[in-house]
Amino acid sequence: MNNFIYDIPTKVYFGENQLGNLGPELAKFGKRVLLTYGGGSIKKMGLYDKVVAEIKKAGLQLFELSGIEPNPRIDSVRAGAEICKKEHIDVLLAVGGGSTIDATKFMAAGALVDFDPWDFFSEKWAPLTDALPIVSILTLAATGSEMDAGGVISNPKTKDKIGRVERPMLPRVSFLDPTNTYTVSPYQTACGASDMLSHICEVYFNMSTDLYMLDTVMEGLMKSIIKYAPVAMKEPDNYEARANLMWASSWAINGFIDGGKRQAWSCHPIEHELSAIYDITHGLGLAIITPRWMKYCLSEATVSKYVQFGVNVFDIDKSLPAMEIATKAIDMFADFLFKTLGLKSTLSAVGIDDTHFEVMAEKAAGIGGTKYGFVPLAPKDISEILKMSL
């Protein structure tokens, strides 16, 4: 196992009836709170009223920014950073899914610099050394943004979607109440499950052989998602299913499972190009790409990892020939995504053709650094994976 530093400062309030802690937690950072949220789901589910009541009870001053889009856009970040500067905001409270939390992270950092947010975040010459404190209330189990330092932001004008992973953007406190995900649609629940699985696969598919403990944790996380996502889709208010998915979403990406692994991600850079151009749901794009990536990377050199995956996650008979186990494992993974979760299985099915494949492949390889992935991917390899996904 390689050396690593694990240091996550996010305090998590997990479970029901913890919102009474919100006011006191926010008050630790100051009096002026910017509440951020998306297109209105938090109002429909009654969470908005509860949050506002807690903020008022704590005697804090409330400012608001709503309308943060799925695949959040830089204009929302600009608006939020502007409010922070003008109103001397002390702390940002993001209530929503990954899009709201991500955009809020960029607002919190953008508030402390004099650059235009897009210039600042897309040009890595300017180090991101500080951000206003962020508190989150998660309403969709998927991205893990509630407990990681990452954020992804889109610029519809340039058709770019860029990510930054910066320690100051880590939420200081996150409220994870599974009942806040009861209203998530079956489709978004499926996309969330696909996203979490992909986060784990990006790390799990690695040829290191000395990470038994981490591999076992990842297999447990994947089995939990495979077990509970279909339950949550059928029974939206099944607490056990929602709770297991919610905690899995955080642990799939909070840095724990990749302790010691040094490897760039592969499917995410490709998917980010898809959602940058076509604005598709992140988890859906990953569902289409990930099994094709697995197929593309399978060889005599990598087959042992697939065997481990097939035997430990899908209970495939370990006495079968290695290649047979590997292909069966990929098929079972794809069946889970497309048959059990009901996600669309091809790019054509979501209206995407090969028009932009070359540009996407170049960008994914360049920005995403896919040549340092599980199997090194050059633009031509990415084009091939995209073609396999048509």
Which two tokens mark 60? 């804090």
DSSP string of 168-181, one letter each residue? GGS-SEEEE-GGGG
Smaller CB distance to ligand NZQ: residue 30 or 39? 39
CB of 136 to ligand NZQ, least distance (A): 10
Short-list 342, 247, 285, 337, CA closest to 154:
285
Smaller CB distance to Zn ion: residue 148 or 166? 148
Q: How many residues belong to the site for Zn ion (CB under 5 A)?
A: 1
Non-local CB neighbours of 75 within 8 Å, separated by 6+ positions: none
Non-local CB neighbours of 190 within 8 Å, separated by 6+ positions: 229, 233, 283, 287, 341, 342, 343
Which two tokens mark 339? 């048959």
The one of Zn ion, ligand NZQ, none whose footprint includes residue 9, by CB under 5 to 8 A per kind, is none
Which two tokens mark 225? 């998602």
Chain positions contacting ligand NZQ, by CB under 6 A: 38-41, 45, 70-71, 96-100, 102, 139-140, 142-145, 148, 150-152, 180-181, 183-184, 188, 192, 195, 253, 268, 282-283
Smaller CB distance to Zn ion: residue 174 or 249? 249
Smaller CB distance to Zn ion: residue 60 or 276? 276
CA 268-381-125 angle, to 5 degrees, is: 50
Q: Give the whole-angstrom CA distance, residue 70 versus residue 97.
A: 9
Q: Is 202 in the site for Zn ion (CB under 5 A)?
A: no
The one of ligand NZQ, Zn ion, none whose footprint includes residue 102, by CB under 5 to 8 A per kind, is ligand NZQ
Site string for Zn ion, 264-303 (x = CB under 5 A): ----------------------------------------
Which parts of 171-200 interact with Zn ion (CB under 5 A)?
A: 195
Q: Which amino acid makes up residue 98?
A: G
The one of Zn ion, ligand NZQ, none whose footprint includes residue 188, by CB under 5 to 8 A per kind, is ligand NZQ
CA 247-239-195 angle, to 5 degrees, is: 40
CB of 322 to ligand NZQ, least distance (A): 30
Q: Which residues bind Zn ion (CB under 5 A)?
A: 195
